[in-house]
């Protein structure tokens, strides 16, 4: 029960952070991607903040045997760059650039009934299902 409450709380904090930083607004994200036009660097600060928090949390995790509310840590161990990684990253980037949403902000915006996100969400779900159908 505590684990589920922590997951819910973490999701809430993540959604709150996305909302406060306005990353649920596609024009904000697209402004960051427009490096030769009216560039908006605010997304870089949001990413930088996330990297700092993650780096700190990773240092804590490295000194523990297991999570407080779980059986084991799930830390990625693969480090090679594969063609499927490059293709997947390219597809993700193209979709991000076209829609102005990546999954987290898209779901938060859809929950707020933002019209473009309501079109984005079914596309996200379709992409997940197609990936599972092809690769699982």
The yes-or-no verdict on residue 97 having pLDDT over 90 is no
pLDDT (0 to 100) of residue 135: 83
pLDDT (0 to 100) of residue 76: 81
pLDDT (0 to 100) of residue 55: 94
Q: Which class for 103: exposed (0-12), middle (13-18), buried (19 or more C-beta within 10 A)?
A: middle
What does the domain layout of the chain look like in residue ranges? 2-135
Looking at residues 90-106, what average pLDDT do you find?
Answer: 87
**Spatial CB neighbours of 25, under 8 Å, sequence gap ≥ 6:** 100, 109
Nearest to 46 by CA among 26, 27, 15, 23: 23
When pLDDT is cut at 50, 70 and 90, the band that residue 81 belongs to is very high
Looking at residues 85-97, what average pLDDT do you find?
Answer: 89
The yes-or-no verdict on residue 56 having pLDDT over 90 is yes
pLDDT (0 to 100) of residue 83: 92
Helix (H, G, I), strand (E, B) or coil at 39: coil
pLDDT tens digits for range 41-54: 998 998 999 999 99
Contact present, 115 and 126 (Cβ < 8 Å): no
pLDDT tens digits for range 8-28: 998 999 899 888 988 888 888
């Amino acid at each position: 029960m505590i684990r589920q409450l922590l997951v819910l709380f973490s999701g809430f904090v993540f959604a709150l952070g996305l909302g406060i930083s306005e990353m649920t607004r596609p024009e904000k994200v697209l402004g960051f991607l427009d490096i030769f036009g009216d560039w908006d660097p605010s997304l870089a600060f949001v990413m930088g903040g996330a990297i700092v928090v993650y780096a700190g949390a990773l240092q804590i995790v490295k000194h523990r045997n297991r999570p407080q509310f779980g059986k084991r840590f799930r830390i990625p161990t693969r480090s090679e760059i594969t063609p499927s990684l490059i293709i997947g990253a390219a597809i993700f980037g193209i979709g991000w650039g076209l829609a102005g949403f990546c999954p987290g902000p898209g779901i938060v915006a859809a929950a707020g009934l933002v019209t473009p996100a309501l079109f984005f969400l079914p596309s996200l779900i379709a992409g997940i299902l197609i990936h599972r159908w092809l690769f699982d």
